[in-house]
Structure 1
Amino acid sequence: MTITISQQAHEELWQEVDETRQSNDPDDQLDITYKCPQALGEGYSRRVELRQSLLLEIESYQRHDNLIIQSIDHPHLLEFWFMLSGQWRENSPSGVNQTQAGQYGFCGSGMAIKGEDEFSQGRQLLVGVHLEPELLQSFIGNSSGELPKALQHLMRDPEQPYHFCSNVMTPMIQYNVQRILHCPYQGIIKRTYLEGK
């Protein structure tokens, strides 16, 4: 079976489970896990705010049905994710984007054009990172704050469709994703370790 819902209804389902949130680390109030809404399946979403404008998210779900989220035009941050199991597909007027198990995806900043996000039934495990464009500039920009020419296409005006690419994860990427999933530390050491990965 396939469940089709609006982006707003999807967000409201997650707001309803806000009371299920629990802290994963007694030394870190910004490391929170939320139970997946029953209507969407079983599992959780773990969100670790590593610093202002930098969010790590680990999503582990067992979907009982295929899910289609009908999205509206909205501004998009920089985002990359590593799909360990499951499949995602976006259909929009600007084209089709997708990632599946063993691949990573990357979205630059800009406008996400209305369309449909499709998630397949079954197990989904992914690690995602969301960051503000200014933070990327501070990490790898030159002395005047500009990104290298090869990366400038990632920073688009809010009216322009965002850039998307995907590829197969290398063994080194897979290794680092596993280190994130099985981080042995807590508190400030955990945050430093995860940000480094």
Structure 2
Amino acid sequence: MIITLTMYEDWELWAEANPNSLQQLKPEPFEIVREMPQQLGKGYARLIEVYPHFWLMIVDYKYRDDMLIKIPEWDHPLQFLVYLSGKITDEYGGQLGEGYTCISGSGVQRQMTTQLLKTRYVGVDIEMPPELLATFFPDEAGEIPHQLRLLAKGNDWQTLLYPETTTAIQGIAQQIINCPYEGMTKRMYLQGKVLELMALQLAPILSAQDGIQPSPRLKADTISRIHYAREILSAHLENPPSLLELAQIVGVSDRNLRRGFKEMFGTTVFGYLTNIRMEQAEQLLRSGKLSVAEVANLSGYSQQGHFAAAFKRKFGITPRECLSGKRSILPS
């Protein structure tokens, strides 16, 4: 049996099962324990505020049935996840658990459906405002390092990354889950461990962007298939296939598809899609035949605010300014 819920329905079930959770601070003043709703399964989630506005959640629960969670388009915080047990997948080919961690950047999360199996989930979930990257990992000017700015997208589409689970990452996650201390010593211990875990997840991203770990060259056949994938995206801007569907159509794995786009076009599959959508949007607006709302809809945006932010990010002007004839102030 498969249970299907929206993200908000899932949240409501947890809230109903823990009506006084904000008052039940156990066993520490900075810790909240929430029981899993009986309708879903058994277990708990422990929320710990390790720094102000910086939350660590430790989960240990088991679902009664396989689950599908429908996630709407929404403003997502910066999130680091490591699961030692269980697996979560989405329709775009993302996978958390069984060999992969997840860094879910801040920004607008696209609509998606995630699948969770009838199994035990044990893991660590870190959530924080993206601005705190400048506090914990500052560059020389005290700002977010340029390599990490892809994790702070504001009103643009978020970045989703799936670093591999290493032995070191597993070890730190296990230490967090089995913290042997209490009181302020516990909080201090966890403060160090969560930063260590984040650093381990970010390490391959920083190395790759610095050119330390270049990817192996793609085969000629793979290159032609990646070009074919690009043509398919260009022809289906309003309703593009998912990452898995696109990979199946062109005959490559989703991992090779992601890697190939990064190597050949310098961006992700959906980064490329967003870019050509914006270029088409500019042409439509300059034609003067459609309204901003109509162009936003044709470009795949259900909210004009998100469309306007993405458009201004690329061209330096708003869609309304473009419609009125103002020229771009940024190179495309």
TM over 0.5, shorter chain: yes
Q: Which runs of 5+ in 1 are unaligned?
A: none
- 2:62 is aligned to 62
Measure the CA separation in 2 of the matches of 1:19 and 1:150.
41
TM-score (norm 2): 0.55
User: Greater relative contact order: 1 or 2 (C-alpha under 8 angstroms, separation 6 or more)?
Assistant: 1
The structure where strand makes up a greater share of residues is 1
Q: 1:106 aligns with which of 83, 92, 103?
A: 103
1:73 Cα offset (Å): 1.1
2:10 aligned with 1:10, yes or no? yes
Aligned 8 A contact 1:85 1:102 in 2: no
Distance 1:3 1:53 in 2: 32
Residue 20 of structure 1, CA deviation: 6.9
Quick check: 182-191 or 149-158, which moved more? 149-158
Q: Which of these residues, 125, 131, 150, is aligned with residue 128 of structure 2?
A: 131
Counting aligned pairs with the same residue, the percent is 31
- In structure 1, distance between residues paired with 2:130 and 2:31: 22
Alpha-carbon RMSD: 1.6
Q: Which residue of 2 aligns with 1:47?
A: 47
Is contact 2:134-2:145 (8 Å) kept? no
- 2:76 pairs with 1:76: yes
1:84–1:103 CA contact under 8 A, matched in 2: no
Shift of 1:88: 0.7
Shift of residue 151 of structure 1? 1.4
- Name the structure 2 match of 1:37: 37
Q: Higher helix share goes to which structure?
A: 2
Q: Distance in 1 between matches of 2:129 and 2:110?
A: 19
- Which of these two proteins has the greater Rg computed from alpha carbons? 2
Q: Aligned equivalents of 2:36 and 2:174: distance in 1? A: 22
Preserved contact between residue 20 and residue 34 of structure 1 (Cα < 8 Å): no
Count of aligned pairs: 191
Counterpart for residue 195 of structure 1 = 191
Match of 1:145 among 136, 142, 145: 142
Contact 2:5–2:70 (Cα < 8 Å) also in 1 = yes
- Gaps of at least 5 residues in structure 2 are 194-332
CA distance in structure 2 between the partners assigned to 1:23 and 1:187 by the alignment? 13
CA contact (8 A) 1:103 1:167 kept: yes
Q: Residue 182 of structure 1: which of 166, 178, 181 is its match?
A: 178
Aligned residue in 1 for 2:161: 165
Query: Aligned partners of 2:60, 2:49: CA distance in 1, in Å?
Result: 18
The range that moved more, 136-145 or 4-13, is: 136-145
Matched residue SS, 2:143? coil
